[in-house]
Amino acid sequence: MRVDGRRAVLMSIQKTGSASTLSIVNEIRARLPRVRELLPDGASIAATGDQSVFVRGAIKGVVTEAVIAAALTALMVLLFLGSWRSTLIITISIPLSILASIIILNALGETINLMTLGGLRWRWYSRRRRDRHH
pTM of the model: 0.60
- pLDDT, tens digit, 9 for 90 and up, residues 19-57: 778 888 899 889 989 988 888 888 888 887 888 888 888
Spell out the residues 6+ positions from residue 95 whose beta carbon is closer than 8 angstroms to its own: 66, 70
- Exposed/middle/buried for residue 65 (C-beta within 10 Å: 0-12, 13-18, 19+): middle
Q: Which helix H or strand E contains 131, and what residues bound it? A: helix 114-133
Looking at the chain, the whole-number percentage of residues with pLDDT higher than 70 is 83
Sorted by sequence, the CB contacts under 8 Å of residue 65 that are 6+ apart come out as 121, 124, 125
Q: Is the pLDDT of residue 134 over 60?
A: no
pLDDT per position as a tens digit, 82-107 = 888 888 888 888 788 878 887 887 78
Can you tell me the distance from the alpha carbon of 15 to that of 113, in angstroms, rounded to the nearest whole number? 12
